Chain A
Amino acid sequence: MRRVLFSGKFIGVIQREANIDSDRAFKNILYISGIIVLILVLGIFVSLTLNSFPSIKAFGMRFLTGKEWDPVSREFGALPFIIGTFLTSFIALLISIPFSLAISILLGEYYKKGILSSTLNTTIELLSGIPSIIYGFWGLFVLVPIVRAFEIKFGISPYGVGIVTSAIILAIMIIPYSASLGREVISLVPADIKEAAYSLGATRYEVVRDVVMPYARSGIFAGFLLSLGRALGETMAVTMVIGNSNLLPSSIFAPGNTMASVIANEFTEATGNLYFSALIEVGMVLFLLTTVINIIGRIAIKKMAFEGGQ
């Protein structure tokens, strides 16, 4: 517009230079944003390490293998929380897999469009948008009594809260993550190879099993890892239903504690340097754990993508 109005040669040149300038500025902004993210993650890691130094110095490896968490005598071992985190997250993943897989196949292969598909999609998105405190309340008032009734029937201590209860809550919370990624990759499977399979006389089930699944495998796996990452760090809902016992859980029905929830519980009143630093070290272990799982995930995805390609 402006160039037409001031159609002098001179102004045109200025305009073009301005365009180049803004282009460069845009590129710079992108670079800077990228670098800031890197610096942030590095900064978090450095400050976690620095702040957990007193605890690292005092306990060394004992911090990871110790079963005692005693703020009074200042003996800190995080094993119960590490085990609690692993147990809840992996059980949650196991519970969630059949459901999220079924949902992704249904929405990615059977009903790509239509009322059923859009309703289900919105519901799943809603599920991932619910604040975790609401899951926690629901767990406390609906799920816990159900689990307790079950425990009474089978003669287990009728706490209702515990590792299994939080794993169930976590499973519901992470389904949307793996389901939506799974749906995405399944719907991306090229139609021509599916049609080729059909033309050879394959049934729909056989196409899903032998064509769609191998092709989408790495994406589905990535979805599971994403949801596992979410489960590892989930705090609020877990804190409300896990029973918050800092002892090693004796069974999956026993109360326990996770790394994230012990930090949330004890941080505000953590007086004393060593206590404070021990909690930060728990945070660092969680940070490293999530990083390692992500890296393993990347390697696995690459490997699988390669196999799938063959």
Chain B
Amino acid sequence: MLRFIKIFFLTNALLGAVVLYAGNKDIELLGAGATFPYPFYSKLFHVYSNAYNVKVNYQAIGSGGGIRQLINKTVDFGATDAFMSDKELKKAPMQIIHIPTCLGAVIITYNLPNRPKLKFSPEIISDIFLGKIKMWDDKRIKAVNPGVKLPRMKIVVIHRSDGSGTTFIFSDYLAKVSKEWANEVGRGKSLKWPLGLGGKGNPGVAGLVQQIPGAIGYVELIYALSNNMPVGIVKNKSGKYIVPSINTVSLAANIKMPEDTRVSLTNTDAKDGYPISSFTWLIVYREQDYGGRSRDKAKALVDLLGWIIHDGQQYAEPLHYAPLPKEAVKIAEKVLKSIAYDGKPILK
């Protein structure tokens, strides 16, 4: 018994020493939120913590969870695919600011014999997902796809079953291009789908689409590119048919941005932009002096954010994310400079 107690105390002392040592050496930043940019973030944080002595621990628990955790002040930063609404911001205990980190897009994928390249107009997409276009050889699909042999097959709609930023971006787009969609379904991370099957996550949707002949679904661009899935070409607001790619997604952000960076890029005004694109954001409190946080920690956080919008951008493209355009970086810089500690700005 005595020996057991001895060992117990010894290990405790050792453990304490290790913790103290680690605590002295590094600053640890905690983040949580969106799953969509997770591969990008984990690469960024890995590179960053090797270069600077700052550990970043990011949990991909979903955008909603990220916002909740920031509001509860259990993390240093949150991450979200859909910017917080005015109503959500008002509910937060202090002012929250958004910093865009990269762009993502949602693409239409389908399962048809011979993998034809298909064009879609916004009306066709919304009517398929509303259940009004039921067959693949519908004359409206034929009209925008001259020369493509469309089979007489039933369209099977596949959607996400879990709440997700991907669904939000997709439904936000549909609500903008179709009045009927806006009235009957609306926009949100989970929806009341008028028809179809649900798959969990991008792999769930992709799996169902690949299995069911005649299926159509939506997944993130990065997922479609890395899995070589058929990708629909979508007509944008200026009437151009745009092939989704990292380039056309970046181009979607070629618009005038608001000061707080909270802007929806779906159905973008940009002439050559892919219309179902979106920023993804990190969210932090503007005033960093809360809950007994040290100035060093606040400084480390701002440095990390600054590094992400500048040097970090080079890691986006190899991972199929679209980097921020210059205009967006400039505005993000301004936002970053507004972050303060005890009322005084951290960056000069």
A residues with a Cβ closer than 8 A to B are 68-73, 140, 144-145, 148, 157-161, 239-240, 243-247, 255, 257, 261, 265-266, 268-271, 275
A270 to B207, CA, bound (A): 24
CB-defined contacts of B68 to chain A, threshold 8 Å? 271
Those 4 A-B pairs whose CB atoms lie nearest each other, nearest first: A269-B163, A244-B198, A244-B161, A70-B192
Minimum distance in angstroms from A36 CB to a CB of chain B: 24
CB-defined contacts of A144 to chain B, threshold 8 Å? 211
A221 to B23, CA, bound (A): 59
Q: What per-residue 1/0 map shows which CB atoms of B241-257 lie under 8 Å from chain A?
A: 00000000000000000
A246 to B163, CA, bound (A): 13
CB <8 Å contact, A268 and B61: yes
SS of A interface (majority): loop
Selecting from B113-121, B180-188, B314-322, B324-332, the interface stretch reads: B180-188
A68 to B165, CA, bound (A): 22
A69 to B208, CA, bound (A): 23
Is residue B63 contacting chain A, with contact meaning CB distance below 8 A? yes
Q: Pick the most buried of A72, A145, A243: most chain B CB atoms within 10 A of its CB.
A: A72
* The residue from A145, A244, A247 contacting B199, defined by CB atoms under 8 A apart: A244
CB <8 Å contact, B192 and A269: no
CB <8 Å contact, A68 and B193: no
A178 to B63, CA, bound (A): 42
Is residue B96 contacting chain A, with contact meaning CB distance below 8 A? no
CB-defined contacts of B211 to chain A, threshold 8 Å? 140, 144-145, 148, 160
CB-defined contacts of A269 to chain B, threshold 8 Å? 62-65, 162-165, 189-190
CB <8 Å contact, B197 and A270: no
Given known A140-B207, A157-B154, contact A243–B62 (CB-CB < 8 A):
no
Number of B interface residues at 8 Å Cβ cutoff, please give it. 36
CB-defined contacts of A161 to chain B, threshold 8 Å? 197, 208
CB <8 Å contact, A68 and B192: yes
CB <8 Å contact, B200 and A72: no
CB <8 Å contact, B191 and A71: yes
CB-defined contacts of B164 to chain A, threshold 8 Å? 269
A254 to B27, CA, bound (A): 53
Is residue B67 contacting chain A, with contact meaning CB distance below 8 A? yes
CB <8 Å contact, A266 and B186: no
* The residue from A71, A140, A255 contacting B190, defined by CB atoms under 8 A apart: A71
A257 to B159, CA, bound (A): 14
20 contacts between A and B (CB under 8 A): A70-B191, A71-B190, A71-B191, A72-B192, A140-B211, A157-B154, A158-B212, A160-B211, A160-B212, A244-B161, A244-B199, A244-B200, A245-B197, A246-B193, A247-B193, A268-B61, A268-B62, A269-B65, A269-B162, A270-B163
* The residue from A72, A159, A265, A268 contacting B185, defined by CB atoms under 8 A apart: A72
CB <8 Å contact, A266 and B163: yes
Q: Pick the most buried of A68, A72, A257, A271: most chain B CB atoms within 10 A of its CB.
A: A271
A158 to B156, CA, bound (A): 9
A71 to B189, CA, bound (A): 8
Q: What per-residue 1/0 map shows which CB atoms of B161-178 lie under 8 Å from chain A?
A: 111110000000000000
Minimum distance in angstroms from A167 CB to a CB of chain B: 17
